[in-house]
C-alpha cells in the first residue's frame, strides 16, 4: 500500500471556502464537501490541523475604512473564525472524525484554549484539530496564524486552499486568460512579485523557517489526498531556486 508523502499537514481554509458558492454565509454543502475531502486524507493516517479564516462573516478592512478602530475590527474577525471553526468541527464529526476545536482567545464553553503541547498530543491521538482566532493578536492575519501554528506543531507542509484557482499565477487568471501558472516558485520571488500566496508577513515567516507551501484548488475533488500521497498538484512555494512555469 502506498504510504503518504506527508505525515502531518496544516490546511489553511479561508472564509470563502466555508461560504462556498451558494451565497450562504456558512454553506452546509461546502462544509460537507470539505469534511469528505479531509476524511479521505485522515484514513491514510495523516495528522491534520486546520486553520480557518473569517472573511465570510466579517471583512475588517471595510470597517476600518469607515473609521472603526483597527484592533477592534481585528478582534471581531477573530470571533468570526471561531464560528467557522465550530461549523467545521460539526461537519467533520458528522463524517466520523474525532476533532478538537482550539482557540487563541479563551472561550472555555465552546473550545479548548490553544496550547502547543496539547495540540500535538491531539494530533498524535489521531484527532483533527481546528485552530481558530488567528494568533490571538490584532494586526496579524489568519495566514500568519497558519504559518506560526505549522511551525509550532512541526507540520511538514502548509496546504493553502484557493477557490477555483489551481495554483500561483503571474497574473490573475480570472481576469487574464493568458496568465501562466508556476509549477514551483521560491518564497522570495513570490514576495518580490507580490503574488497572491499569503500575506507577506506569513510568507517571510515560512521562508525563514523553511516551511513549504502548496497552493491548490480546494473545489477540485480528491486534490488534498493527491497532494498528501505525493502527486505534484498546484504550485509549490519553497526554497527551490528559480520559478518553473507550466
Instruction: Using a pLDDT cut of 70, give the percent of the chain over it.
Output: 96
148 annotated as a binding-site residue: no
177 annotated as a binding-site residue: no
| pLDDT, tens digit (0-9, with 9 covering 90-100), for 54-82 | 989 998 888 899 999 999 999 999 999 99
Q: Which of 14-23, 26-35, 140-149 has the lowest mean pLDDT?
A: 14-23
CATH class of 8-238: alpha beta
6 annotated as a binding-site residue: no
Decide: pTM greater than 0.85. yes
| pLDDT, tens digit (0-9, with 9 covering 90-100), for 128-186 | 999 999 999 999 999 999 999 999 999 999 999 987 788 899 888 878 888 889 999 99
162 annotated as a binding-site residue: no
54 annotated as a binding-site residue: yes
201 annotated as a binding-site residue: no
SS (H, E, C) the chain: CCCCCCCEEEEEECHHHHHCCCCCCCCHHHHHHHHHHHHHHHCCCCEEEEEECCCCCCCHHHHHHCCCCHHHHHHHHHHHHHHHHHHHHHHHHHCCCCEEEEECCCCCCCCEECCHHHHHHHHHCCCEEEEECCCCCCCCCHHHHHHHHHHHCCCCEEEEEECCCCCCECCCCCCCCCCCEEEEEEHHHHHHHCCCCCCHHHHHHHHHCCCCEEEEECCCCCHHHHHHCCCCCCEEEECCCCCEEC
pLDDT of res. 245? 64
Q: Which sequence spans correspond to the domains of the chain?
A: 8-238
Amino acid at each position: 500500500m502506498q504510504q503518504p508523502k506527508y505525515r502531518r499537514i496544516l490546511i489553511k481554509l479561508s472564509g470563502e471556502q466555508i461560504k462556498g458558492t451558494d451565497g450562504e454565509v456558512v454553506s452546509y454543502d461546502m462544509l460537507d464537501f470539505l469534511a469528505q475531502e479531509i476524511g479521505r486524507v485522515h484514513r491514510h493516517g495523516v495528522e491534520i490541523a486546520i486553520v480557518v479564516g473569517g472573511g465570510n462573516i466579517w471583512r475588517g478592512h471595510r470597517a476600518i475604512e469607515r473609521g472603526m478602530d483597527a484592533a477592534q475590527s481585528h478582534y471581531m474577525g477573530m470571533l468570526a473564525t471561531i464560528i467557522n471553526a465550530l461549523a467545521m468541527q460539526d461537519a467533520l464529526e458528522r463524517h466520523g472524525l474525532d476533532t478538537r476545536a482550539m482557540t487563541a482567545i479563551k472561550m472555555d464553553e465552546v473550545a479548548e484554549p490553544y496550547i502547543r503541547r496539547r495540540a500535538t498530543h491531539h494530533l498524535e491521538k489521531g484527532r483533527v484539530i481546528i485552530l481558530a482566532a488567528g494568533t490571538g493578536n490584532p494586526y496579524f492575519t489568519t495566514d500568519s496564524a497558519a504559518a506560526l501554528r505549522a511551525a509550532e506543531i512541526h507540520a511538514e507542509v502548509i496546504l493553502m486552499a484557493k477557490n477555483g484557482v489551481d495554483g500561483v499565477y503571474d497574473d490573475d487568471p480570472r481576469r487574464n486568460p493568458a496568465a501562466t501558472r508556476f509549477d514551483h516558485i521560491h518564497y522570495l520571488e513570490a514576495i518580490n512579485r507580490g503574488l497572491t500566496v499569503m500575506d507577506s508577513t506569513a510568507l517571510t515567516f515560512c521562508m525563514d523557517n523553511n516551511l513549504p507551501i502548496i497552493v491548490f484548488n480546494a473545489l477540485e475533488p480528491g486534490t488534498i489526498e493527491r497532494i498528501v500521497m505525493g502527486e505534484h498538484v498546484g504550485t509549490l512555494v519553497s526554497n527551490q531556486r528559480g520559478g518553473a512555469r507550466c
